[in-house]
Structure 1
């Protein structure tokens, strides 16, 4: 991923937390014909038995991409956060428009999980997303026969984290006056993503991002 030094996010725990908070990612592999294949799915960050972090997820068996996830298949996982167009009219000088955004990319190698491992992935994943439900369900609240039957339609996988890169392009190269104006203009757009981006910018430069 191309990242100018000014916008690099290098703190490992910050990158991990970003994945936790933005876990609906894009899994990219290369098909046997050399053409890239991608699927949008929830991809979770989990420790393995040795405490090393890895990515886990599952694909529908109807999705042929799962057949590419054999042992040690190179893969790319992309996680995107808040983003917004930045108008050059928000500056106090002539400049070009741009786009601010947050993203993390992970490269690694995939392998297929066993049925019991897949069950544990599903159990943890459902518990995570049901945590704030009014009437939460869980894998354990369903009969084992039913769960096993439904699992026939999916393939779970794990992916090593061989490299991880993060970008936080948040107008760090702007002076305080223009930075503050960008935050203010983002908040006035009425767009929830722009507002979230403004909050992130304000948190990173609190002396001006109010």
Structure 2
């Protein structure tokens, strides 16, 4: 199955929009001896000067917390919508492929291991979830974590100002305008949400 030339995307506003829509990151760290991979929800915090941080939290029992405390570099991968592209849709039959949206952020995170900072991340994560989903939840700290020391000992936070932020959007850009329009039409006829989302991304970016 072919993977034909995804288009690099570097515009921060576009990439941050994807992160905000798909905030569950694949988090990868390496301490020199082992690799740890976790799935963690994150939030973007904007600064007045236009810079931003990506913040998240994890259990201190997660082996990745040991990596972060040791100063490991962090890679975050955000997978947006993706879908199979059937080659029979092309004017001239070719190999099938897969279209997708992906964003990667990389850098050296700072630890957030104070009570106020952790609460801020947890509250921001709740606010993001309430924005993305209709079912709402009022922020709440369980009784066994209401003591500041208990919260700090149980949950670790991080704040990453990416040294590298990049994206790859593979949306059949190498195909003819006729083929792109045909792909959009066929994807729109499918029942799954991923196909419909890729069709919209293609429509918005068609050239």
Could you say whether these structures have the same fold, taking a TM-score greater than 0.5 normalized by the shorter chain as the test? yes
Ranges of 4+ aligned residues in structure 1 off by more than 2 Å? 47-52, 70-73, 130-136, 141-152
Deviation at 1:138, TM superposition (A): 2.1
| Match in the other structure for 1:21 | 21
The change in CA–CA distance for 1:93 and 1:57 in structure 2 (over 3 A counts) is same
- State the shift of 1:58 in Å: 0.7
1:111 and 1:158 in contact (8 A); partners too: yes
Offset, 1:144: 11
Which residue in 2 is equivalent to 1:127? 127
Task: Please list the CA deviations of residues 74-99 of structure 1 after superposition, one character each: whole Å capped at 9, or x if unmatched.
Answer: 11000010101111111111311111
Q: How many residues align?
A: 202
Q: Which whole-Å CA distance do the structure 1 matches of 2:202 and 2:85 have between them?
A: 13
CA contact (8 A) 1:71 1:111 kept: no
2:76 alignment counterpart: 77
TM-superposed CA distance for 1:72, in Å, is 4.3
Structure 1 gaps of 5+ residues are none
Could you tell me how far 1:36 is from its partner in structure 2? 2.1
Question: CA separation in 2, counterparts of 1:133 and 1:83?
Answer: 23
Matched, 1:9 2:9: yes
Task: Show structure 2 runs of 5+ residues with no match.
Answer: none
Say which SS state the counterpart of residue 73 (structure 2) adopts: strand
Q: Answer with 52-61 or 148-157: which moved more.
A: 148-157
Task: State the TM-score, normalized to the length of structure 1.
Answer: 0.84
Aligned to 1:101: 100
Give distance in 2, aligned partners of 1:49 and 1:61: 31
- Residue 114 of structure 1 corresponds to which residue in structure 2? 113
